[in-house]
Structure 1
Amino acid sequence: MIFDSNSGMLTCESCGHQENIDNYQEKDDNIESSSDTNEYHCKNCGAIIMTDSDTSATTCSFCGAAVVIAERLSGKLTPAKVIPFKISKEEAQIAFKKWCKKGLLTPKGFMSADRIKNITGIYVPFWLYDLKSRAMAEASCTIVNTYDEGDYIVTETKHYNVFRDVDLTYLKVPVDASEKMNNTLMDKLEPFNYEELKDFKTPYLAGYIAEKYNMDDKELFPRVKERVDQYADSFLRSTIEGYSTTSIINEDIDTKEVSSYYSLFPIWMVCYDYHKSDHIFAMNGQTGKIVGNPPLSKAKIFTWFLGISTISFLIINIILFLVGGEF
């Protein structure tokens, strides 16, 4: 059985039977582990499945059965929350095709139908942080007024010492916890809708690939702290308004972790190899947002530049002709 993103149920593709995941009891009966931690036996067809140490769910390459490696989702490796896939593979393929067509300067045949068929649904590990910050700032500000007084222009400058001391609370700030994923790419896939955040149960992973985290919440805290400190700095500065000039004299931001949740977020991914350079494209499996940097075709760029130059040349000559010049 696999997780069906349309119905939200655990579904058998053969007979159509569906089960409510909320009624599912966790158990470890879908795989048998061998002595090699990277080798597993599919209980559906008996084939040996090789995975790397970070994979916690995959698909049998021989029979197509969904395989969840439960021992990699137990103890400290058990996710607290999961956002299920809301966009099916078929919907993702259609969306990728539409997105690819928007690239006017991309190479011919970019993201072919065959390539788009190979998109992969991955549950990427994230840590969600609840944080509190105390932010303080001291600034020197002025208000400048200019007015006429008789034969003179008077400039009046008033000086102010401004102080801010605020407490800020942040809930569920996400940071991806997989070394394989590009951090910038993952950040651009935000935001996720936390109203659809579910308590984790393994059936959500059936039919998809899932990665376990490489970095725990303590290792990633400096990254989330840097991100939140930027938010706090921006908020502080936004409260100092209405002055002609503002100069920050002193600023102190103290951010502390309140709690963290190990979670899995749904991502559709496609890898494109162009001139020995890898281009990775990702889609938020919940909202459909697509990010990535497509390759550029030199031939199309040259044609575009030539066309713009020709049009500009004709426009200039038409203007010269209208004002009495010659072609």
Structure 2
Amino acid sequence: MVIHYKCPNCGDDMAFDSESGMLTCQSCGRQDQIEDFSEDLKTSVLSEDEAKEYHCENCGAALITEAETAATTCGFCGAGVVLQERLSGVLAPAKVIPFTISKEEAMQAFKKWCRNGRLTPKGFMTADRIKGITGMYVPFWLYDLKTKAKVEAVGTKVRKYTRGDYEYTETKYFDVYRDIDLSYIKVPVDASEKMDDKIMDKLEPFPYDQLKDFKTPYLAGYIAEKYNYDDKVLYPRVESKIKNFIESYIRSTISGYSSVSYNHKHINTKKVRSYYVLLPVWMVYYDYEKTEHTFAMNGQTGKVVGKPPISFQKMAAWFGGIAATSFITLKVVALIMGGGLW
């Protein structure tokens, strides 16, 4: 089933407005509260996991979609459409964080970000080569986790002192035990095969206090994808993601020792629950020297991530400046300490 939101007043297309947070008609200005829409996506029939042809209810044009597509725009009339069966049953998201940054605001924020690049080429910093910008709801799994850590270690405290002509070193050994309970709430892992995991990780954090119950009108006018990987497949990733935090916390509880040697460390993490959500991302495609560069922007916070091109001339000048500054600093220190000129 293709869902297409038409304005009851004038019949024009309606789309989600990031500023008001409402389903809005750009022609007559009608606005509808999304919370007032009632849906039952849990009982809908699931589609086959393959590309499928739909038809735009606005102009009748064929919509050829990929298997992951859950919302898109008609290439002929530009209407925003939602593919309900791609968002039903086990594919129904529990929550969504709506966009609060509009396309125009995203363009301006990206241009400002480009101009701040100290080591990027001058031509790139003008930010006048934006090939395209797409608002996309990216599928994520959020995990609530509980971790139990049991630690046995030996800590040493070393004291050195002098008596007469002799210098003594005193080493005391202490048995260290820790029994730690940790809880992690809403740890995100992106579930899209297309998205670069490193880029998606760097877009964090998203404001999870802005999570809302999922309603299809939030997707109107944007692109959305359903997940490629379920929560079981991605569980090793979320465990790996919190591993460093757990290790850091354990170390923080064992302080005041000259050294710590671990005899036994048992860490057990269990999933309390996981839920499927859609998070807002602006994808920016930028042409520079016949190469397309892809950047991502958090649709709530405006944080931009990606790898811009580097100007080797600027890099050489920057490192040269550091070297010159270091030389001058050392020269001044030598003069203060009574040294001669170099």
TM over 0.5: yes
Q: 1:255: how far off?
A: 0.8
Moved over 6 A (4+): 309-312, 322-326
Q: Quote the offset at 1:298 in angstroms.
A: 4.0
Corresponding position of 2:303: 289
Q: Decide whether aligned partners of structure 1 residues 277 and 234 sit closer, same or farther in structure 2, where only a CA change above 3 A counts.
A: farther
Aligned with 1:94 (options 104, 108, 118): 108
Residue 202 to residue 306, structure 1, CA distance change in 2 (3 Å): closer
Name the residue aligned to 1:253: 267
The answer as to 2:115 corresponding to 1:109 is no
Q: Whole-Å Cα distance in 1 between the matches of residues 175 and 323 of structure 2?
A: 58
Range 109-118 or range 222-231, more displaced: 109-118
CA contact 2:97–2:279 (8 Å) conserved in 1: yes
Give how far 1:184 is off. Answer: 0.8
* Aligned pair partner of 1:62 in 58, 69, 76: 76
C-alpha contact 2:25 2:31 (8 A) present in aligned 1: yes
Cα distance change on mapping 1:149 and 1:181 into 2, 3 Å: same
Per the alignment, residue 26 of structure 2 pairs with 13
Q: Is the Cα–Cα contact under 8 Å of residues 5 and 85 in structure 1 kept in the other structure?
A: yes
2:130–2:285: 8 Å Cα contact kept in structure 1? no
Distance 1:99 1:205 in 2: 27
- Tell me by how many angstroms 1:108 deviates: 3.9
Name the residue aligned to 1:237: 251
Q: CA deviation at 1:315?
A: 7.2
- Do residues 280 (structure 1) and 294 (structure 2) align? yes
Pick the aligned partner of 2:283 from 258, 261, 269: 269
In 2, the alpha carbon distance for the partners of 1:150 and 1:297 equals 63
Contact 1:124 1:210 in 2 (8 A): yes
Q: What corresponds to 2:37 in structure 1?
A: 24
Closer, same or farther in 2 for the Cα pair 1:53/1:104, shift >3 Å? same
Say which SS state the counterpart of residue 123 (structure 2) adopts: coil
Where 2:283 maps in the other structure, the secondary structure is: strand
Task: State the partner residue of 2:5.
Answer: none
CA deviations on 1:132-189 (whole Å, 9 max, x unpaired) are 1111222121001122333333221101121111111111110000010111111111
The number of equivalent residue pairs is 315
Q: 1:12-67: CA deviations, max 9, x gaps?
A: 11111000001012379xxxx9xx95221111111112221101011112111111
1:2 is aligned to 2:51: no
Aligned residue number for residue 140 of structure 1: 154
Structure 1 residue 221 and structure 2 residue 235: aligned?
yes
TM-score, with structure 2 as normaliser: 0.84
Question: 236-245 or 142-151: which moved more?
Answer: 142-151
Q: Give the CA RMSD over aligned residues.
A: 2.9
- In the alignment, the residues of structure 2 paired with residue 325 and residue 249 of structure 1 have an alpha-carbon distance, to the nearest angstrom, of 56
On the 8 A contact 1:80/1:200 being kept in 2, the answer is yes
Give the Cα separation in 2 of the matches to 1:42 and 1:145. 79
Counterpart residue type for residue 19 of structure 1: D
Contact 1:111/1:272 (<8 A) preserved: no
TM-score by length of structure 1 reads: 0.87
Matched residue SS, 1:106 = coil
Aligned residue for 1:6, secondary structure, equals coil
Question: What stretches of structure 1 of length at least 5 have no aligned partner?
Answer: none
Q: Could you say which residue in structure 2 is the equivalent of 1:43?
A: 57
1:93–1:117 contact (8 Å) kept in structure 2: no
Amino acid at match of 2:29: G
- Counterparts in 2 of 1:115 and 1:122: CA distance versus 1, 3 Å: farther
Partner of 2:7: none
SS of the equivalent of 1:110 reads helix
> Please, which runs of 5 or more residues in structure 2 have no aligned partner?
1-13, 42-46
Match runs of 1:188-227 below 5 Å: 188-227=202-241
Q: Residues of 1 paired with 2:68 and 2:112: CA distance? A: 33
- Using a 3 Å threshold, how does the CA distance of structure 1 residues 139 and 89 change in structure 2: closer, same or farther? same
**Structure 2: which amino acid aligns with 1:42?**
C
Q: Percent same amino acid among aligned pairs?
A: 62
- Alignment partner of 2:180: what SS? strand
Deviating more after overlay: 209-218 vs 143-152: 143-152
Tell me the equivalent position of 1:183: 197
